[in-house]
Structure 1
């Protein structure tokens, strides 16, 4: 048997996302943008990769491994 919150909470979240969020979000968006500035998002740094890529990963090429896997003999 499933508990009541396991049924009610997903239904309420679906109703909010489907019907209430399109009405509520435009009203609260200006206040959110004041507190959550875009500068905080832009401050993240991109990782720099100084290693050169020669097209191989762990000794294999893009066309496949150089060695053939052992096949079962009859």
Structure 2
């Protein structure tokens, strides 16, 4: 058995996104843009030098995945 909020909330969100948001959004968008600026999006990430990265991305090297020895060797 599924609880009532687990059914009602997704249905209400779908109704809002599908039918109400296209009607309401043009009226509320100026207020949203005033409070929610895009300054955080405009900032560029800092570049790392090759010496700091050592050529690895998420634990793998350019030549292939990094091999990890098993900790439990019986």
TM-score (norm 1): 0.61
Cα shift at 1:39:
2.8
- Partners of 2:40 and 2:45 lie apart in 1 by 14
- The number of residues matched between the two structures is 57
Aligned to 1:17: 17
Q: Give 1 or 2 for the bigger CA radius of gyration.
A: 1
Task: Give the ranges of 4+ consecutive aligned residues of structure 1 lying more than 6 Å apart after TM superposition.
Answer: none
- Structure number having the greater helix percentage: 2
TM-score (norm 2): 0.61
- Structure number having the greater strand percentage: 2
Structure 2 unaligned spans of 5+? 65-74
- How large is the RMSD of aligned CA atoms in angstroms? 2.4
Cα shift at 1:46:
1.2
Structure 1 unaligned spans of 5+? 62-74
